[in-house]
Chains A and B, each alone.
Chain A
């Protein structure tokens, strides 16, 4: 069965510090991968998606970047965090490969709760 891991679970970082969140998927190959952010009491906002190694699409302009160095590894980064980067960061995967499969059901990791102080 498929499993998705995220770490760390919680993180408190000062403004201006760098960020690196990692997500790995097990039990599937060539998944589509996604990074979302959820602000308190709000819906999920898609930040990035990836249909393959090295292929990253950004949905919103922001202070963050993403990379996919391996098929089942997805990394979210920032060089300098802002207060507005605080939130619940969720990594997800879906079956199918390619942009046309982004409408399939997605499965989430446990998330990272980031507080920027």
Chain B
């Protein structure tokens, strides 16, 4: 089993819709969780950290479920500019483990 797993997608979503995707992790001792966004042929950029209580940043909401060992990202009122690959990142033994990403395509 991979340490961090994501559905590769693509998720094809109409503009204005709400979309959510999950990421599962294997190390129950993990303490840090992040979502990054990567545009085509660009570097990953930190979207948000994921806290135990969940956190929200504008249209984006991240949740952590320790019991089931997954984190989620919800995007509301999706915009064309949200089209990207979303990378789930989890720490394991003091290093970051990267998921392969979920590709999101927002259609007009």
Contacts and interface: CB of A to CB of B under 8 A. Distances in A.
Interface stretch (A13-21, A64-72, A76-84, A103-111): A103-111
Contacts of B44: 44, 90, 108
A23 B32 CA distance: 26
**Dominant SS among interface residues on chain B:** strand
A110 B42 contact: yes
A102 B41 CA distance: 25
Contacts, number: 47
Given A42-B100, A43-B101, A111 B42 contact: yes
Contacts of A41: 100
Nearest to B31: A103
A46 interface: yes
Contacts of B31: 103
Interface in A94-117: 99-111, 113
A110 B91 contact: no
A110 B98 CA distance: 18
A105 to B, nearest CB: 5
Interface of A: 41-44, 46, 49, 88, 90, 99-111, 113
